[in-house]
């Protein structure tokens, strides 16, 4: 099973995208890339990817996430991750990508991090 978007909703002004399956090389992962591109094109600046149901990610999948992060950043948006599984967390740690992404244990923490960030920058 490849990655699919099971839910995309607005929570407190933050776009939350729930993912399910595997983020791997192939056509299927393009839907994730396109979804993120369209959110940014719509002017969404705060995006949380809920990874609770991601079973596996390969190097191409990591590339998609990094590309999304960089694309968002250049357009003044921010992509944050939540609910990483143990293995996924280890992969991000080994590849030093934990220093690139803002990672949160829960969706609520990821969403509220945007509020605390906005308050801190005022």
**Domains identified in the chain and CATH numbers:** 4-117 (3.30.750.24)
- Is the whole-model pTM more than 0.85? yes
| Token reading at 105 | 């244990």
63 burial level (CB within 10 Å; 0-12, 13-18, 19+): middle
- The overall average pLDDT reported for the chain is 90
Q: List all residues 6 or more positions away from 57 whose beta carbon is below 8 Å from its beta carbon.
A: 22, 23, 24, 65, 88, 91
Confidence (pLDDT) at 30:
84
Q: Per-residue pLDDT tens for 76-90?
A: 999 999 999 998 999
In the three-class reduction of DSSP (H, G, I as helix; E, B as strand; rest coil), residue 3 is classed as: coil
Confidence (pLDDT) at 20:
94
Confidence (pLDDT) at 115:
87
> Could you tell me if 111 and 15 are in contact, meaning their C-beta atoms sit under 8 angstroms apart?
no
Q: Per-residue pLDDT tens for 15-73?
A: 999 999 999 988 778 888 888 989 999 999 999 999 999 999 999 999 999 999 999 99
């Amino acid at each position: 099973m490849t990655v699919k978007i099971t839910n995309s909703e607005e929570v407190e002004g933050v776009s939350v995208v729930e993912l399910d399956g595997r983020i791997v090389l192939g056509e299927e992962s393009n839907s994730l890339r396109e979804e993120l591109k369209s959110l940014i094109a719509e002017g969404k600046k705060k995006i949380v990817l809920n990874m609770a149901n991601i079973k596996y990610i390969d190097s191409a999948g990591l590339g998609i996430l990094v590309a999304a992060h960089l694309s968002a950043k250049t357009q003044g948006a921010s992509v944050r991750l939540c609910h990483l599984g143990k293995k996924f967390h280890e992969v991000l740690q080994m590849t030093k990508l934990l220093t690139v992404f803002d990672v949160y244990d829960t969706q609520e923490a990821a969403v509220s991090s945007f509020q605390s960030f906005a308050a801190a920058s005022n």
